[in-house]
Amino acid sequence: MTEGSAHTALKARVDRVLRDFVRQEADLLLDIDERLAPVAEQLEIATLHGKRLRAAFCYWGWRAAGQPDSDALVRAAASMELVHAAAVVHDDLIDASSIRHGLPTAHRALRAVTSEGPRPKAAARWLAMLVGDLLMSWAGQLFTNCGLPAAYLSRARPAWAVLARELVAGECLEILRTGRPPDTDTSLKVVRYKTAKYTVEHPLHIGGLLAGARGGLLEAYSDYGLPLGEAFQLRDDLLGLFGDPARTGKANADDLIARRPTALLAQTWQSASAAEREELTRLLGRRDLDQDGVCRVREIMHGAGAPARIEAMIAERTAVAAAVLHDTDLPPEAGRALGHLAQSATARRH
């Protein structure tokens, strides 16, 4: 079996765990009141899509520590995807994004059931916030009840506190930096804490800790996971503006309208002329930004050489992660799988 087909098989297992778990929990929600059906629907939609990279990193963090395949571990790994689903719902809410995976985001979709209330848009946002909160709660529930021995779970439980703290810190830093003068170092710090750590490093650590991994291997997971996680988000930033919305499932203007403090914007600002900075200031943050405006921002970015520099940053970080894999003594199957995941995370087109 190739690494690609192995990941496809693992993804199918994670998808089944999530489908069954979410369906069961959604039914329990509906037992309380049938009027919660729109909320249950958004919970299911939020968990329906994804490459399941976070679950895969958790799984291979376990396998690289010498443990065999385990259905209980797959359930634990699937909890990483509920963390991601929660983060996405909250992120879309904060950024007022309208589309995700080609569908209305939760706070947009829920307007249909709040339209007759006194503050329909606000009520839809509140419901979406609670959807995200429940997804995060479900992540802990699925992890705790995955079926692994309590002694295994206790080894990894402290890592959950770190994951939650750093994920929230990254989101807060992005909010605090939005609209401020772009700065690459600050943008990369947001990338590290908002995305890189919970996408690669923390899932690897949790899988490894469940397996009983210690010191040196966990350090290698960080040395591999942090640059790879940063490369993953830098690729996401490029795709967000330059990718095909039909493949990414997101609008190209989202980052510009939200004026997110991306490294791409910071690199552009660094090399743009005074006139171009004035133009960017007029365009960024506009709710009515049209396709012509998006194209103009792209032109300024290309003229400043920013996309090429971001590509170089991705390549540099991916190379660092690959070198760590090469220098770390891992079971061959795990080493190959982690190498494949590195390529999947950074060379993707959606």
What are 111-153's pLDDT values in tens digits? 999 998 889 999 999 999 999 999 999 999 999 999 999 999 9
Arithmetic mean of pLDDT, 16-29: 98
pLDDT above 90 coverage of the chain, percent: 86
Summarize the confidence of residues 326-336 as an average pLDDT: 96
- Strand, helix or coil for residue 103: strand
- Using the predicted structure, report yes or no on whether residue 2 has a pLDDT greater than 90: no
What type of residue sits at position 348?
R
For residues 7 and 340, the answer to whether their CB atoms sit within 8 Å is yes
Percent of the chain clearing pLDDT 70 (strictly above): 99
Tokens of 47: 């968990």
Task: Report the C-alpha gap between 110 and 120 in whole angstroms.
Answer: 9
Classified as helix, coil or strand, 99 is strand
Triad 118, 123, 128: Cα angle to 5°: 170
Q: What is the pLDDT of residues 246-279, one digit of tens each?
A: 888 888 888 898 888 999 999 999 999 999 999 9
Q: What is the pLDDT of residue 246?
A: 84
Encoding tokens for residue 337?
Answer: 């799988």
Give the Cβ contact number of residue 4 at 10 Å. Answer: 11
pLDDT for residue 350 is more than 70: no
> Is the model's pLDDT at 1 over the cut of 90?
no
Task: Identify the pLDDT of residue 131.
Answer: 98
Span 226-238, average pLDDT: 96
Contact assessment for residue 281 and residue 187, using Cβ atoms and an 8 Å cutoff: no
DSSP secondary structure string for all residues of 154-185: HHHHHHHHHHHHHHHHHHHHHHHHTTSPP-HH
**Average pLDDT for residues 228-242, to the nearest whole number?**
95
Give the model's pLDDT for residue 151.
97
Lowest mean pLDDT among 11-25, 243-257, 288-302: 243-257
Averaged pLDDT score across all residues of the chain: 95
- Give the distance between the most distant pair of CA atoms in the chain: 62
Q: For residue 337, what pLDDT is reported?
A: 96
Domain limits of the chain? 3-346
Question: For 5, left (φ over 0), alpha (ψ -120 to 50), or beta?
Answer: alpha
pLDDT of residue 304: 96
Work out the average pLDDT over 292-309: 96
Overall fold of domain 3-346: Farnesyl Diphosphate Synthase (1.10.600)
| Over residues 101-108, mean pLDDT | 93
pLDDT band for 214, please (50, 70, 90 cuts). Answer: confident
